[in-house]
Amino acid sequence: GAVVSQHPSWVICKSGTSVKIECRSLDFQATTMFWYRQFPKQSLMLMATSNEGSKATYEQGVEKDKFLINHASLTLSTLTVTSAHPEDSSFYICSATVGGTDTQYFGPGTRLTVL
Amino acid sequence: QKEVEQDPGPLSVPEGAIVSLNCTYSNSAFQYFMWYRQYSRKGPELLMYTYSSGNKEDGRFTAQVDKSSKYISLFIRDSQPSDSATYLCAMSNPGGTSYGKLTFGQGTILTVHP
């Protein structure tokens, strides 16, 4: 149980385009989803916290107009990287929690490469 | 000073060895403690979840929490090459505005060689 999927697993795009990444909880309803960014050989950096039906809460230093998060249902959250640039190239990982616990279950990650 | 400190290693051990991974933390409000394993280019996988001081065992893995010393450990017995991965400690404060957020250590890269 507690499986989280992400799509796509790998995306390459041209500079200036927008990319959407989906995060789904497959066998449970996720009250909260989190979006992280990870650089090579570094730990996870929390970007934002997303609750179903409400606006995401962004961490300090994360541009909310750059990284648009939508959490339209209890099983789906999306991260859209708008007008992507090479410095946005990174590994993006989502996670989801089951209601009432702090345990986060992570998706497999999406590798974004911006040319 | 970071809230959570974890020796990044890398740590290299022979197959069958006992591995000890550790994290220290400074925030006494942390109540939940987790260990995640992350293989290269994959998302973290939850290994152990503990609340309060004490030990928790699951197969070859034992998690220890010492809240008085603000120190947590993960022991891996009879280590296998398949245990080669990055191990991340994480902890959370269930109260206030931080509810649900995890604070991660830097991760320790472990290699178990045959």
Q: What is the pLDDT of residues A44-64, one digit of tens each?
A: 999 999 988 888 999 999 999
Q: Do A105 and B107 touch (CB under 8 A)?
A: no
Q: How far is A82 from chain B (nearest CA, A)?
A: 23
Q: Do B34 and A108 touch (CB under 8 A)?
A: no
Cα separation, A33 vs A56, in Å, equals 9
Q: CA-based Rg of chain B, rounded to a whole angstrom?
A: 14
Give the mean pLDDT of chain A.
92
Cα separation, B114 vs B112, in Å, equals 7
Q: Do A49 and B101 touch (CB under 8 A)?
A: yes
Contact B63, B74 (CB under 8 A): yes
Q: Do B43 and A6 touch (CB under 8 A)?
A: yes
Cα separation, B76 vs B7, in Å, equals 16
pLDDT at A68 over 70: yes
Cα separation, B13 vs B87, in Å, equals 14
Please give the angle made by the CA atoms of B111, B112 and B114, to the nearest 5 degrees: 135
Q: Do A105 and B49 touch (CB under 8 A)?
A: no
Contact B66, B54 (CB under 8 A): no
Cα separation, B16 vs B19, in Å, equals 9
Pick A2 or B109 by higher pLDDT: B109
Contacts of B99 in chain A (CB under 8 A): 102
Provide the pLDDT for residue B99.
62
Residue among B36, B45, B100 minimizing CB distance to A97: B100
Chain B residues whose C-beta sits inside 8 Å of any chain A C-beta: 32, 34, 36, 41-46, 49, 88, 90, 92, 94, 99-102, 104-107, 109
Name beta bridge partners: A22. A7, A78
- What average pLDDT does the segment B77-105 reach? 87
% of chain A surpassing 90 pLDDT: 73
Burial of A18 (C-beta count, 10 Å sphere; 0-12/13-18/19+): exposed
Cα separation, A60 vs A40, in Å, equals 21
Least confident of A24-28, B96-100, B103-107: B96-100
Q: 3-class SS at B90?
A: strand
For B54, residues 6+ apart whose C-beta sits below 8 A from its C-beta are B64, B65
Pick B2 or A7 by higher pLDDT: A7
Q: Do A97 and B92 touch (CB under 8 A)?
A: no
At B98, the pLDDT band (50, 70, 90 cuts) reads low
Q: How far is A67 from chain B (nearest CA, A)?
A: 19
Q: Is A58 on the interface with B (CB under 8 A)?
A: no
- What average pLDDT does the segment A92-115 reach? 89
pLDDT at B52 over 70: yes
For A112, which residue in chain B has the nearest alpha carbon?
Answer: B41
- Among B23, B41, B47, B91, pick the best mutation site for testing chain A contact (most A Cβ within 10 A): B41
Name beta bridge partners: B37. B45, B87
Pick A11 or A40 by higher pLDDT: A11
